[in-house]
Amino acid sequence: MAASLEDILQSHRTGRFVVMGILNVTPDSFSDGGKFFSAADAIAHAEAMAAQGADVIDVGAESTRPGSTAVSPSEQIARLRQIIPPVARLGPAVSIDTTSSQVAAYALDAGSAIINDISAGRDDPQMLPLAARRGCPIVLMHMLGRPGTMQDRPRYKDVVGEVCEFLLRRMEAAEAAGVARERIIVDPGIGFGKTLEHNLALLAGVARLTSLDRPVLLGVSRKRFIAKLTGVEDPAGRLAGTIAACLAGAGGGATIFRVHDVSAVRDALSVASAIRNAKNSANSGS
C-alpha cells in the first residue's frame, strides 16, 4: 500500500523508505525525454509505476537537466492538463515538479498533493505562500545557479556544510511565509550545480543533512555522476549505480528516493530495510 502523506512526512522518524517515481511530461529530459510526452503514454507509465509500488508519482512538465531552457507556466499547464487528474486517481500521492506557483496551484487543484520545487521557493515569491495556504508538503532543494548554467565550474569550500546551511535558511523562509516545519522535505540537489566529488561528498554526508530533522529526499536516478564512475553512457543502463547510490543514502538516513526504475529500487530498499530491522532486533535483544 502506498505511503500516506503523514507516512512520508514522518519517514525520517519511522525509517520507512518512500519511492517517488519520475514522470517527465517533456520532450527533452536527460533520460526519458519524449518517451511519455503524450497523455496516453504518460498515464500508462504512471499506472505501471503505481503497480510496481510507487508511493509518490512526481510529475514534471519542464526539463531541468543541465543546459535546459525554461518552459512557460502556460505551456507546463497545457502539458499537464490531461495527465494529473487521472494520475491522481491511481492511489500514490502526486507531486508537482515545478518552480512556478501558477503551475503548482493548477496541479494542486487538479489532484496533486505535494510541491517539489528545485528552487526552494526562490524563483517565484508566491510559491511559499501558496504552500502555506494549501497546507501541502513542499520539497525544498539546493541548487547552485540555474539549470542552464549550474554545471559551469561549481565551487564550494564545504559542500555538505553549505548545502545544510542553505536548506536551513530556506526552511526558515518557508516558515516565515507560514509553512509548517512538519510539512517540509529537504533535498540536497544531487547533480544540480555539483561536480562528481561534490555529489559523492553529499551522499557520504547524508547523516549531516538529517540534523535538520526533516525527511531527506535523494534524486540520484541515472544521473551523470554515475556514468563518470561506471563508464555507462546510456542513462537507462545506470540502474546498478542508481541502486548503489540509493542504498548509500539510505544508510545515512535518507528516506525518500526519486527514481525512474521503481520496481528495482523498491526491491533493493525492501531488502535493506529487512536487514536493518534484523540488526536492530538483534541489538535490542543483546
**Distance (Å, whole) CA 139 – CA 193:** 18
53 Cβ neighbours under 8 A, 6+ residues apart: 2, 19, 262, 263, 266
**Confidence bin at 27 (pLDDT 50/70/90):** confident
Q: One-letter amino acid identity for 121? A: G
Each residue's pLDDT tens digit, 199-211: 999 999 999 999 9
Number of domains composing the chain = 1
pLDDT at 50: 98
Note the pLDDT of residue 113.
98
Q: How far is CA 153 from the centre of its chain?
A: 24
Tell me: pLDDT of 102 over 80: yes
List C-alpha distances in Å: 206 to 19, 70, 81, 203, 286: 17, 30, 36, 5, 28
Q: Specify the pTM.
A: 0.93
Which residues constitute the domain of residue 232? Answer: 5-285
Q: Which residue has the cell 543533512?
A: 209
Q: Which amino acid is at 261?
A: D
What is the predicted pLDDT for the residue at 150?
56
Question: pLDDT tens digit string along 124-183?
Answer: 999 999 999 999 999 999 998 766 665 667 889 999 999 999 999 999 999 999 999 999
Q: 6-39: buried (b, 16+ CB within 10 Å) or exposed (e) per residue?
A: ebbbbbbeeebbbbbbbbbbbeebbbbeeebbee
Q: How many CB atoms lie within 10 A of CB 154?
A: 16
What CATH number does residue 91 fall under?
Answer: 3.20.20.20
Residues paired with 60 in a beta bridge: 24, 97
Give the model's confidence band at 96: pLDDT under 50 very low, under 70 low, under 90 confident, else very high: very high
User: How high is the mean pLDDT of the chain?
Assistant: 93
Q: What residues are annotated to the active site?
A: 223, 258
- Which pLDDT value is given to residue 53? 97
For a pLDDT cut of 90, what percent of the chain falls above it?
84
Q: Give the pLDDT mean for 59-80.
A: 85
Give the confidence band of 187 by pLDDT, cuts at 50, 70, 90.
Answer: very high
Q: Using an 8 Å Cβ cutoff, are 189 and 142 in contact? A: yes
Which pairs count as long-range contacts for 149-155, CB under 8 Å and 24+ apart, including other chains? 150/66, 150/192, 150/193, 151/66, 151/67, 151/193, 154/193, 154/194, 154/195, 154/198
